[in-house]
Amino acid sequence: MSHKKLDKYISNIRPGVITGAADNDPAGISTYSIAGSQFGFSQNWIMLISIPMLIAVQGTVARIGVITKKGLSEIIHNQYGQIVAIAILLILVICNIFTIGADMLATSASINMLFTGTTNYTYIIVIPLFLFFVYIIIFKDYQKIAKYMFWGSLAFLSYFITVIIVHPNLLSIMKGTFIPDIKSFFYNKTYALTATGILGTTISPYLLFWQQEEEIEEKRPFNFLRKERKSLAFGFIFSQIITIFIMTAAGATLYKEHINILSSKYPAITTASVLQPLAGKFASQLFSIGIISAGLIAIPVLAISTSYAFTELTKHRGFLSAKFKDTKLFYYIIIVSLFSGIIFSVFKVSPIGALYYSQVLDGILAPIIVIFIILIANNTHIMGKNKNNLFDNIFSILSVIIMIGASLLIFL
């Protein structure tokens, strides 16, 4: 393959890979680790069935972006009114700010763990991390940011190596991945709560806004729609396979030793700090590298998606490809969003709990946004002949039903 063809291929798959990588943010990794520590491999099947749902929902918002050249907030505002658009924006901001703060702490803790073997300086490392993100977002153009996110996603392969190191039982993995534990899903509240968190971090509100705007930033032509599903599917399948590796690594170590990292008995800031005495220093370091890479990709996406959604409702819509002086409001909102990490560190919020419950919140609120996406994607006046196909409708609707069902089971 020539250099030119390789660049074109990477450009085609990059949005899906970046979104898939951002989907496995530190909050997601912690949620998957908690699932593994609580239930072993028995929730792996959720990741398997979520692949077509993720492809359908994210593929739908990507197509909406290519066709309309408008952001999700703007379309919701135009079609359903200002009150609905503001309500959706508030949902997104609450989820994003909470997740950014938790992700900043988890990334700082992993940097600390990797270089010092402890988590003593976590709340200090947040400050230079904040300054780093502000610098790259304001002073680097979109293409450079996208390239760094794409190549950074390769660090997730560290979880594959971690699984090899911990030697899990292959038969148990196959059973947990391909045989759904329906009984626990309906009759175990903790199982349903964790399943909601898993779904919330898989189909995340912020990724819906990010994916649509990313297609606009990439300046996708209409004729690219035929390739869109393949390019996105590659990234999402990669993302979900990595997720199964994460849950498997936690299940083979933490669950085996009866360690639930969410409990007060193990108030660890990162899974890696608990993993070290069980699987060795190298496995702990690999796990930390994965979380750091996840944070470096996901935190900017979270902050940028928040700003996209906000500025779409104003006359000051911004883009990463624009200079700071031309779209100051866009960048100011990004900076304020990132600052939440420092606020979390000041109050010394427990990262592992914040990470987990932020994803449960996402799982409760995400289906509300997906419902509007389905309505928009099936509106002929907006999409013309590019309305949702049967695959997208079936699995998008299924994702709504499952997420709402899991949320209701928690309360019932």
User: Burial level of 367, CB count in 10 A (0-12/13-18/19+)?
Assistant: buried
Q: What are the tens digits of pLDDT across the range 70-110?
A: 888 888 888 888 898 888 888 888 888 888 887 887 788 77
State the pLDDT confidence band at 373, using cuts at 50, 70 and 90. Answer: very high
State the pLDDT confidence band at 371, using cuts at 50, 70 and 90. Answer: very high
Q: For position 269, what pLDDT does the model report? A: 45
Q: What are the tens digits of pLDDT across the range 131-186?
A: 888 888 887 765 666 666 666 666 777 777 777 877 788 898 899 889 888 888 78
CB 400 within 8 A of CB 371: yes
Average pLDDT, the chain: 77
Long-range Cβ contacts of 140-148 (<8 Å, 24+ apart): 141/320, 141/321, 142/217, 142/319, 142/320, 142/321, 145/300, 145/320, 146/14, 146/18, 146/217, 146/218, 147/14
CB 253 within 8 A of CB 278: yes
* Better-scored residue on pLDDT, 85 or 264: 85
State the pLDDT confidence band at 312, using cuts at 50, 70 and 90. Answer: confident
Q: What are the tens digits of pLDDT across the range 108-122?
A: 877 877 777 666 677
CATH number for the segment(s) 23-411: 1.20.1740.10
Domain edges within the chain: 23-411
Q: For position 2, what pLDDT does the model report? A: 59
Q: What are the tens digits of pLDDT across the range 5-22?
A: 666 666 666 666 766 666
Rounded Cα–Cα distance for residues 224 and 302 (Å): 26
212: its two tokens: 């649509």
* Better-scored residue on pLDDT, 38 or 151: 38
With 90 as the cut, is the pLDDT of residue 394 above it? yes
Q: For position 7, what pLDDT does the model report? A: 62
Q: Tell me, what DSSP letter sits at residue 76? A: H
55: its two tokens: 């492809």
pTM over 0.85: no
